[in-house]
Amino acid sequence: MVRDASFDAPARTSRKAAERTVDGLWSRIGALLPTFTPQECANFFAAAGYEPD
């Protein structure tokens, strides 16, 4: 699994929230998305081997 350092803080936040339902998890993911900058997202996908458009 490829991990980017930018993913660590939101992942920890998500684990601490410990959502127990699918709806709760999707809500948490939706709340975390704005914490990522476009550059962090680009870096994550580049590290995973995806080519930029």
Q: Is 52 part of any domain?
A: no
Given a cut of 70, whether residue 38 has pLDDT beyond it is yes
Residue range of the domain that includes 18? 5-47
Q: Would you state the pLDDT for residue 37?
A: 93
**How does pLDDT run across 4-34, given as a tens digit for each residue?**
566 666 666 666 667 788 898 899 889 989 9
Q: Is 29 part of any domain?
A: yes
Q: Is 31 part of any domain?
A: yes
Q: Which residues contact 27 (CB under 8 A, 6 or more apart)?
A: 19
Q: Is 10 part of any domain?
A: yes
Q: Is 20 part of any domain?
A: yes
pTM: 0.51
> Count of domains in the chain?
1
Q: Would you state the pLDDT for residue 49?
A: 93
